[in-house]
Amino acid sequence: MSLLSALTVTFALCLSNALARYVLQDDYFEVDEHGAFFDKFRFWEDEDPTKGFVLYKNYGDCLEAGLISNTTVNVIMRADSHNIAPFGRSSVRIESKKTYDHGLLVIDLDHMPGSICGVWPAFWSYGPSWPNDGEIDIIEGINQFRANRMSLHTGPGCYLKNRTTHFHAYSGEVLYTHCTPSNTSNTGCSIGSFDLTTYGDGFNAIGRGIYATEWTSKHISIWFFPRHSIRKDVNGPLGRTPDPGTWGLPLSRFDLTCDIGMNFKNHSIVFDITFCGGWAGGKQWNTSIPVNSTWPPTHNQRNTSCAAKTGCTCEDWVRDHPEAFEEAYWSVNALRVYQDVKDEW
C-alpha cells in the first residue's frame, strides 16, 4: 500500500470514528453475566398504579400460564386470552433492573397489542420518584386508537417549547404542552402521530417496525421506521454506530423549558399491558374516535365507541371476553441501549 493510500485509509477511519456518535452499551438479547432477556427485568406483582383491571404475574406464573416466551431472536409478552377473569385479566409488566440517565434506546418489534377495546399497552421508561424523576412514554395507546401517542411526565415547571425552527421539526402534532400531571389531569406533554402504521392494528398489518428514542441533555426525540424503510447500514437504528443526525424527521421531539438532566434520571425500561383503568376505562370508553386518526376533531368519520360496540362496561368486557385479547401481545426482535461515544451530554 502506498503512503498516500495508507494516509487516505487512516483519515477515513479517523473521520468515521469522529462522526460515530453512539456505541452499543446493552443488548438485552445477548446472554451475558446478567443472564438472558427476562433475567434482566423485574416482574411487577403489585396493584396497577393506573387502577387497571389487571393482575400482574411473577416470572414463574407468567411462564406457567404461557404469558411469556423467549429465544435468542424473539421475546413474547402477552395478556391471558383463555380464561374468564373475575378479579382482573392476568398480564405482564416488567421493568429493567439496570437504569439509565440518557442514551439511545432502540426496539425492533414485529407485533404490539392491537387496537382492542379495553387494552392499554405501553413501552416506556420512568425514574424511581414519580413524577419528579420523569417518565418517557415511547409507545402508548388505548382501545381503538390507530396511531401512537408519545408523552413526557415530570414534576413542576416543565413545558414543551414552541416549535419555532426547522431544527425542532417533527412530524407529529402537539396535543398538550404541560408536562406536570397536576396541570393536565395526568396527560403529560404529548405529541400524537397521524401515521396509521405507528400503533396497534396498523402496525401489525405491516408486520415490523423500529422505534428509536434519543435522550440527551437538550431534547428527547422519537423516530419510527416502518418495515419498508428500516435502514440496515452502520448508522441505522440497529447499526454498529447509529447516527440520529442522518435519520430525517422524528415523529416527536420534546424541547423543554426545564433542565432535562434534573427532571429525567435513573430510568428503568418498562413493558406492560393493562386494561381499563383511568384512561382506557374512563371517559374514553364512551368516546368515539376518528377512523383514520386518533386525534379529534380533524376528521368527521368516527368509530363507534367501545361502550356502544361492546354493550357493557370496560371491566365487564375484559372480565367476560378472553377471546377478544388474542392480539394483546408484544413480540420483540431486539432491544438495545447505545451511549454517546464522546459522552457529550
DSSP-assigned states of every residue in 36-87: SGGGGEEEP-S--TT--SEEE--HHHHHHHTSEEE-SS-EEEE---SS--TT
Which range (5-19, 162-176, 317-331) has the least confidence?
5-19
CB neighbour class for 274 (10 Å; exposed up to 12, middle 13-18, buried from 19): buried
Mean pLDDT for the stretch of residues 66-91: 97
pLDDT for res 167: 57
| Spatial separation of the C-alpha atoms in residues 94 and 268, rounded to whole Å | 9
Name residue 70's beta-bridge partners: 75
Q: According to the model, what pLDDT value does residue 273 have?
A: 99
Q: Report the percent of the chain where pLDDT is more than 70.
A: 87
- For the segment 30-63, what is each residue's pLDDT rounded down to a tens digit? 999 999 999 999 999 999 999 999 999 999 999 9
Residue 345 has pLDDT above 70, yes or no: no
Beta-bridge mates of residue 154: none
Residues carrying an active site annotation: 135, 140
Considering the four listed CATH numbers 3.40.50.720, 2.40.170.20, 2.60.120.200, 3.40.50.1100, the one that applies to the domain covering 95-340 is: 2.60.120.200
Distance CA 48, CA 54 (A): 7
- Enclosing H/E stretch for 7: helix 3-19
Task: Please state, for a pLDDT cut of 90, what percent of the chain lies above it.
Answer: 82
**How high is the pLDDT of residue 164?**
62
All cell numbers assigned to 148: 401512537
Farthest-apart Cα atoms in the chain, separation: 79
Three cell numbers, residue 276? 381499563
Mean per-residue pLDDT for 332-339? 98
pTM above 0.75, yes or no: yes
Cell 434534573 locates to 262
Decide which of 224 and 186 is more confident.
Answer: 224
pLDDT 10s digits, 176-221: 999 998 766 789 999 999 899 999 999 999 999 999 999 999 999 9
Alpha-carbon distance 86 to 77, whole Å? 21
- Determine the Cα–Cα distance for residues 218 and 254; give it in Å rounded to an integer: 9
- Residues 286-296 pLDDT 10s: 998 766 554 44
Q: Where are the domains of the chain?
A: 95-340
Query: How far apart are the C-alpha atoms of 175 and 86, rounded to whole Å?
Result: 36
pLDDT digits (tens, 9 = 90+) for 262-293: 999 999 999 999 999 999 998 999 998 766 55
